[in-house]
Amino acid sequence: MLAIAAAVLFFISFLINAADIDTNDVFSSTNIMLLGLTVLALHLAGIGAARTSRHRS
């Protein structure tokens, strides 16, 4: 799930950069790209992964 969120953030960053949209400093394409990298790192670290527990019966 976090990988999908990272992909969406990268796509938004690409659109802002490609369309040359003027945004304020908080929502610049670089900041959104860094958020995407953070989410991707969390995904690779295993945070947010579906964890299943096996119960013995």
| pLDDT tens sequence across 10-52 | 998 888 888 888 778 777 888 888 999 999 998 888 887 666 6
The number of C-alpha atoms within 13 Å of 4 and in the hemisphere containing its C-beta is 3
The helix/strand/coil state of 25 is coil
The number of C-alpha atoms within 13 Å of 7 and in the hemisphere containing its C-beta is 4
Q: What's the rounded Cα separation, in Å, for the pair 2 and 22?
A: 27
Look at residue 57 in the predicted model and tell me its pLDDT: 62
Look at residue 47 in the predicted model and tell me its pLDDT: 82
Look at residue 50 in the predicted model and tell me its pLDDT: 66
Entry pTM: 0.71
The tokens describing 24, both together, are: 């304020």
